[in-house]
A and B are shown apart, each in its own frame.
Chain A
Amino acid sequence: MHGMANVPAVEMRDVHKFYSDFHALRGVNLTISKGDVCVAIGPSGSGKSTLLRCINQLEVISAGRIFLDGELQGYREVDGRFHTLSPSRVANQRRRTGMVFQRFNLFPHMTALENVVEGPIQVKGVPRSEARERALALLERVGLHGLGSRYPNQLSGGQQQRVAIARTLAMEPQVMLFDEPTSALDPELVGEVLDVIKDLAQSGMTMMLVTHEIGFAREVADDLVFMDHGLIVEGGKPQDVLNSPARGAKPGAFLSKVLA
């Protein structure tokens, strides 16, 4: 059943996450269809980062199931029991997703180009010359033509984040996860990163994006979910969620703060 068009790219079923005693995700259900852009908004501490990190197994979920392209993540389920996958299987599953972090997390001892070729060469075994060629094309695509030989500390925040996006794209993930990709940037650098993300969205990349840029969310999102206290409390078309915070009135209170 893998790879069929009607299988969702991401499916979360009743996912819970505990950090020792703290109940950070309290039963999340979420489906992202292939090619869709799902944007998560919500107050700080509501569990948005945790949700993304569970999808690519940077966190181990405490209950529930996560499927990517129909494949259960992290476990093999036999007769209702979960068998933990080996680290190499988990690493393999992670290749299906790409993650862009709030603070870029570029490798500081590598140039921009080396950052981008690292994954393809070391993980996928792509020959160096081929990886390099593709990386140069990707750097060009994110508007960084000619900056491949710079080290991260010789780049602006916006440029670093675009290198990070190119590094993720180089692995050809099926789903891209963005955790507040513009929150660490000076205001005048936000636009250049959002433009790259918008391009990606329009190219048909499946992605989940956590952001506080409400205007941008409205523009790119196919689905918008509003999180609070470890739950998705509203979800649907962006205009519906943003304009009619009927139930709970929570998005309304949050949005008036964000938009103020």
Chain B
Amino acid sequence: MSEQGPASTATHPPGVVDGPIRVVRNDVVPPRYIGRWITTLVLLLVAVQAAHGLIGNVHFHWAVFAEHVFSPQVLRGVWWTLLLTVAAMALAVPLAMVLVVMGESRNPLLKAVALGFFNVSATTEIYTQLVFWGLFALLFPRLSISIPFGPELIGVDSRLLVTPAVAAVVGLGFNESAYLTEIFRAGFRAIDRGQTEAAQALGMSARKIWLRILLPQAMRTIIPPTSNETIGMLKMTSLVLAVPFTLDLMFATSAIANRLFLPVPLLMVAAAWYLFITSVLMVGQYFLERHYGRGHDLIVSKGGPM
């Protein structure tokens, strides 16, 4: 388009180069997307209508929304919801990785433990698990390491260790690790066996093969569903009431709503925050996908319409 050399007057047949030749790039006019313009217009109209219907709607009590969206109680709820999400995922991801590696191990005991853990956390329901972890300190008042039928070596009061916040994180994290295990296993299974063999042939240890060869490749297929799970976790934190844990965003907004007898604006407060956090997470997902997509042109390719 920009390099406008004089038209080549070469007469030789194509493919035969005779001295330096000038190439005239094709003068490309992009196609006109009339359909796109119409769609944009229609969507814009719908959006304006919807916004008008919401903003002008007295039933939404936007003044109450504005009053509470940044109130300390709500902000504390946002903080705890984020913390629970991050902590539960930070527990679930490594745990799931370990479970996958254990499941692939040649040691039958490790395999059985992985399978047993998976079965328990995948087949019982999250609400029950959260109630269980909430009751943990009652069920097992003292956690200790002792010689079987002998004296205790070290011990700690369960109430100090398994606080409601810990119970919430552990409950959410253990439950999530079961789903992540499935996702990770599928990611690893999709890798060609030749990758492991090539690494073995170089003399790499099993640990290095997992970390340097398999994991980075599995990441590519693992990240999108794991991001979905993270967003799901964000919403699942609203269940920690079962523990009971009462500092998260959902509990905070519904407490205010109950006090004011105005559920709708407080629901909108919660929804706005969930939407905001989800959007931030999706930006993170984009960068992760780009990083682990290297070597696969689908993501890094620059030219051509998609």
Contact = CB atoms under 8 A, between A and B. Distances in A.
Contacts of A123: 202-204, 208
Interface of A: 56, 58, 87-88, 91-92, 94-95, 97-99, 101, 103, 105-111, 118-119, 122-123, 151-154, 164, 167-168, 171
B29 interface: no
Which has the most chain B C-beta neighbours within 10 Å: A109, A110, A118, A122? A109
Nearest 4 CB-CB pairings of A with B? A105-B198, A105-B194, A95-B203, A119-B202
B208 A108 contact: no
B195 A58 contact: no
Contact of B295 (A87, A92, A108): A108
23 contacts: A58-B201, A91-B200, A91-B204, A95-B203, A98-B201, A101-B197, A103-B194, A105-B194, A105-B197, A107-B199, A107-B217, A109-B217, A109-B295, A118-B212, A119-B202, A119-B203, A119-B204, A123-B202, A123-B204, A153-B295, A153-B296, A167-B202, A171-B202
Contacts of B192: 105
B294 A91 contact: no
Nearest to A87: B206
Contact of A97 (B198, B201, B217, B296): B201
B216 interface: yes
A109 B194 CA distance: 14
A98 to B, nearest CB: 7
Given A152-B295, A153-B296, A153-B297, A107 B200 contact: no
A152 B194 CA distance: 15
**Main DSSP-derived SS at the B contact region:** helix
Given A91-B200, A101-B197, A105-B197, A110 B208 contact: no
Nearest to A121: B212
Nearest to B211: A122
Contacts of A151: 294-295
Contacts of A108: 217, 295-296
Given A101-B197, A101-B198, A122-B208, A94 B203 contact: yes
Contacts of B194: 101, 103, 105
Contact of B205 (A91, A98, A171): A91
B273 interface: no
A142 B295 CA distance: 22
Nearest to B291: A109
Contacts of B205: 87-88, 91
A108 B199 CA distance: 12
B292 interface: yes
A103 B212 CA distance: 20
B231 interface: no
A88 B206 CA distance: 9
Nearest to A164: B198
Contacts of B131: none
A103 B195 CA distance: 10
Which has the most chain A C-beta neighbours within 10 Å: B192, B197, B198, B205? B198
B97 interface: no
B297 A118 contact: no
Given A88-B205, A171-B202, A122 B197 contact: no
Contact of A118 (B197, B202, B292, B294): B202
B213 interface: yes
A219 B198 CA distance: 28
Interface string B38-71: 0000000000000000000000000000000000
Nearest to B300: A151
Given A56-B201, A123-B204, 16 more contacts: A58-B200, A87-B205, A87-B206, A88-B205, A92-B203, A94-B203, A95-B202, A99-B197, A101-B198, A108-B295, A109-B292, A118-B202, A118-B212, A119-B204, A122-B204, A167-B202
Contacts of B204: 91, 119, 122-123
Nearest to A57: B200
Nearest to A99: B201
B295 A171 contact: no
Contacts of B199: 107
A189 B2 CA distance: 36
